[in-house]
């Protein structure tokens, strides 16, 4: 597979087949993605890969924690900053509407929308779950570089016939994850990722999201 195909066919996969991926295949994949760049070559990430009982225990922990605090736990690194622009708000709204349209869940059916969203905390039933761990002292640069590592993984997954969904929703359970995953004193979860063989028939996986046109995000000078 060439890089352009991997980039254009990658989507956030939100339904998976019940088919495992072996440890060695996952190890090779992670090692390949480690070629991702990072400022000063810091490689500021650490990854925890979970399957089987280890994965299930996170799902159980999440269900228990969210039953007590449905909005999740406080964090000093919220998923979105307060100052997102109207254009960004519109994009966020649009992708949500597109997804629920695929799923045939109308806007006023809040209960079903919430139920669907809760599937995030089961990794959308993917057999493999990743957590990207970063030191609390790292700044915005290192968070961005960890994102490059994640995208490299997502593209290499395409080559393997796997699907991925990055999951920042796990940032709402940082305190519980820190203790559940036995992170170091100064470590935190940045993001999760669901990984597995995509269910290509699932309606949610038919969602192919929109992007801004070139002239909306790029300008050329001196040509
Ligand atoms: C860092 C990151 C975190 C994300 N977290 C979530 C998440 O928690 N749950 C989810 O369903 N999608 C999540 N997404 C997927 C985005 O909604 C998705 O990338 C975007 O709508 C574009 O769609 P596409 O990935 O299919 O191209 C995340 C994406 C990124 C890059």
Indicate whether 211 belongs to any domain.
no
At 50, the pLDDT band (50, 70, 90 cuts) reads very high
Bridge partners (DSSP) of residue 129 are: 50, 194
CA 3 centroid distance within chain: 20
Asked if the structure places residue 139 within a domain, the reply is: yes
Helices 140-159 + 23-33 axis angle, to 10: 130
In a domain, 2, yes or no: no
Ligand 1 within 6 A of 12 CB? yes
What is the span of the domain harbouring residue 154? 14-79+121-205
In this structure, the strands spanning 187-196 and 163-167 are antiparallel
Q: Is residue 168 part of a domain?
A: yes
- Give the predicted TM-score (pTM) of the model: 0.97
Question: Does residue 85 form part of some domain?
Answer: no
- Residue to mutate (ligand 1; options 167, 193, 194; most atoms within 8 A of CB): 167
Q: What is the mean pLDDT of the chain?
A: 97
Neighbours of 146 (CB within 10 A): 24
Ligand 1 close to Cβ of residue 209 (< 6 A): yes
pLDDT tens by residue, 3-42:
999 999 999 999 999 999 999 999 999 999 999 999 999 9
Separation of alpha carbons 186 and 181, rounded Å: 13
- Report the distance separating Cα 100 and Cα 31, nearest Å: 36
**Nearest atom of ligand 1 to the alpha carbon of 99:** 21
Query: Would 59 be classed as within a structural domain?
Result: yes
Residue identifier of the C-alpha nearest atom 8 of ligand 1: 167
End-to-end CA distance of the chain: 33
Pocket test for ligand 1, best of 166, 206, 211 (most atoms within 8 A of CB): 166
Number of domains in the chain: 1
86: in domain: no
**181 within domain boundaries:** yes
CATH number of the domain encompassing residue 164 = 3.40.109.10
**Distance from the CA of 165 to the center of ligand 1, in angstroms?**
6
CA distances to 29, 41, 128, 161, 182 from 189, rounded to whole Å, are: 21, 20, 17, 27, 11
**pLDDT level of residue 75 (50, 70, 90 thresholds):** very high
* CA-closest residue to ligand 1 atom 16: 12
In this structure, what token pair is assigned to residue 12?
């956030």
Distance of alpha carbon 36 from the chain centroid: 17
Q: What phi-psi label fits residue 124: left (phi over 0), alpha (psi between -120 and 50 degrees) or beta?
A: left
């Amino acid at each position: 597979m060439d890089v352009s195909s991997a980039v254009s066919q990658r989507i956030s996969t939100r339904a998976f087949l019940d088919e495992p991926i072996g440890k060695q295949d996952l190890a090779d994949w992670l090692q390949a993605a480690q070629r991702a760049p990072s400022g000063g070559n810091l490689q500021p990430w650490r990854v925890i890969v979970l399957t089987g009982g280890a994965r299930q225990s996170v799902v159980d922990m999440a269900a228990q924690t969210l039953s007590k605090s449905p909005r999740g736990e406080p964090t000093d690194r919220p998923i979105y900053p307060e100052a997102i622009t109207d254009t960004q708000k519109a994009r966020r709204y649009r992708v949500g509407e597109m997804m629920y349209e695929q799923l045939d869940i109308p806007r006023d059916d809040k209960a079903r929308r919430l139920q669907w969203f809760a599937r995030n905390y089961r990794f959308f039933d993917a057999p493999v779950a990743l957590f990207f761990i970063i030191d609390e002292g790292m700044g915005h640069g290192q968070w961005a570089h960890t994102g490059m590592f994640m995208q490299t993984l997502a593209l290499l997954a395409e080559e393997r016939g796997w699907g991925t969904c990055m999951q920042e929703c796990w940032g709402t359970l940082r305190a519980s994850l820190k203790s559940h995953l036995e992170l170091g004193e100064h470590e935190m979860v940045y993001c999760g990722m669901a990984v597995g063989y995509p269910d290509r028939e699932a309606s949610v996986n038919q969602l192919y999201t929109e992007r801004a046109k070139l002239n909306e995000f790029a300008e050329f000078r001196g040509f």
